[in-house]
Structures are given as C-alpha cells and as structure tokens.
Amino acid sequence: MSHGHVALGIDIGGTGMKAARVDTRTGELLSDRVRIDTPQPSTPAAMAEVARELVDTLRWYGNVGVAMPTIVRHGVIRSAANIDASWIDVDAAALFGEALGHRAIVLNDADAAGIAEMRFGAGVGRAGVVLVLTFGTGIGSALFVDGHLVPNTELGHIEIDGCDAEDRAAASARRRDHLSWAKWAKRVDHYLGRLVMLLSPDLIIVGGGASKQADKWVPRLTVDVEVVPAAMANNAGIVGAALASRQGGEG
C-alpha cells in the first residue's frame, strides 16, 4: 500500500517507544508524536504489542520502519545492552511484520538518527568522515563516509580506563551519578578524544536526549574536532526509521 511521501517511523529506546507519521521529503513530523513507556521486562512479545498500539493510535496501514537500541543485522537482533536479553537472535523484522500486519524494516536506532541528520539535519552536504553519536540511556553511534553509512558501529561500547564508555558518558550516567553539566562534559570530552584518535572524523554530530540541552555541555568540549548538536533533536530516530521503511522506493 502506498502513502506517497508519508511514512511511519517507530523509535524504540530503553525507556520509551515513540512513533509518528513523517513527511519523507522534508523530514517533518506530520502527526503528534505518540509515546508509550517501554514495557518492563522489555521482552519481544511485550514490545511488539506496544508497537501495535502505537501504529493503531496513528491509524497507519502500511510498511513501517523500526529503530532498535541494538545491533540489527539483516532484521535480526544481535545485542541487548539496554533491553531484555531475550531479544538476542530474534528476527525482529519478522516479529514486527507479523504483529503489525505489514512489512517492517528494522535498523539500529543511532543509524536511523544518523540517516535523518545526514539527510535533513546537521550533516546535510557534509562529505568525509562524519560520526553521529546519540547520548541517551546508552550511547549510540552512526558512522558515515561521504554520506554512506557503515551500519552497526557500536562506538558507545569502547573501553575507556577499564570501563564501558556508555556506562560513564551516556546521558543516563549524568543523572545516575548526579553530575553537574561541567563534570559530565569532561567525561564526554575524554570519550570524544578517544574516538578522534581512533577515527579522525571531520565532524561529530551529538544527538539523543542530551542534545536538547546542548548549550549546557557542547561549548565546554575541548576536543580537536568540529562538534555540532544534532538539528533534529529527539525526532531523528523516528524520521530515520520512516526513511528506512522506504528502502528502494521513493522518499
């Protein structure tokens, strides 16, 4: 079923599941964003049920794009850092497809956000090596080379000083450890320094929940690379998922 330039994106996170209709020509949301808490435990069956609720609420009948906070290889979940471990090896494309009654295209959440930022946001027209990082419950990464995505990079999980980077520098770590913006920015700065050493990016786009308050921490970064806040705030995952649902089609 074709909807012209309208597509549906669902962005699944460790704490919330969000969906909206998206104009694939402009990246704008065409409906209110609908949000439901991620069920706990966040099992495949429980989350597929919530996805159906979201799609029903938006009265959508067609293909959907689904962004997951996990490695997604050809529709199959291969990691589970911030969701239930029972997701591992689940064919999410088949599960959501069945629950929603239409084809589901499933991809990593940071990859989805990155696709949206490159198409409509802070990465428009940017060639070279561009790294998009999302700071939320975890840290997600999307790596682009001349606009082409290298899917499923997991740069939130590099080890720094014996710790998982996301455990120290995700937005959730700032709240958990009651850190000031300055203290948390220092952790992020240290993390970005390692990434710059490893990848020599031309640009780093910082997104996720923490990008809403980018003015509180981005100006404090000292790392030797251009760092800009994501332009699409927290909707990038939804928009990127919606774009992905049009794979091979117009958009």
Query: Binding residues for ligand BGC, per CB under 6 A?
Result: 69-71, 79, 81-82, 108-110, 134, 136, 138, 140, 154, 156-157, 166
- Strands 64-68, 6-12: pairing is parallel
CB of 154 to ligand BGC, least distance (A): 5
CB of 6 to ligand BGC, least distance (A): 26
Shorter beta-carbon distance to ligand BGC: residue 82 or 245: 82
- Bridge partner residues of 19 (DSSP): 10, 34
CB of 151 to ligand BGC, least distance (A): 11
Whole-angstrom CA distances from 102 to 47, 64, 65, 95, 181 are: 16, 7, 10, 11, 43
Q: Check if the beta carbon of residue 9 is closer than 8 Å to that of residue 245.
A: yes
CB of 112 to ligand BGC, least distance (A): 9
C-alpha atoms less than 13 angstroms from C-alpha of 7 in its C-beta half-sphere: 28
Kindly report the backbone phi and psi dihedral angles of residue 214, in degrees, each rounded to the nearest multiple of 5, phi listed first.
-55, -35
CB of 199 to ligand BGC, least distance (A): 17
Shorter beta-carbon distance to ligand BGC: residue 35 or 157: 157
Shorter beta-carbon distance to ligand BGC: residue 25 or 176: 176
CB of 202 to ligand BGC, least distance (A): 22
Nearest to 205 by CA among 128, 121, 145: 121
End-to-end CA distance of the chain: 15
Length of the chain: 251
Whole-angstrom CA distances from 194 to 14, 130, 159, 160, 191 are: 26, 15, 10, 8, 5
Shorter beta-carbon distance to ligand BGC: residue 164 or 189: 164
Shorter beta-carbon distance to ligand BGC: residue 70 or 234: 70
Shorter beta-carbon distance to ligand BGC: residue 79 or 211: 79
Q: DSSP alpha helices (H): ranges in 58-180?
A: 92-100, 109-120, 165-169, 171-176
Shorter beta-carbon distance to ligand BGC: residue 24 or 79: 79
CB of 5 to ligand BGC, least distance (A): 27
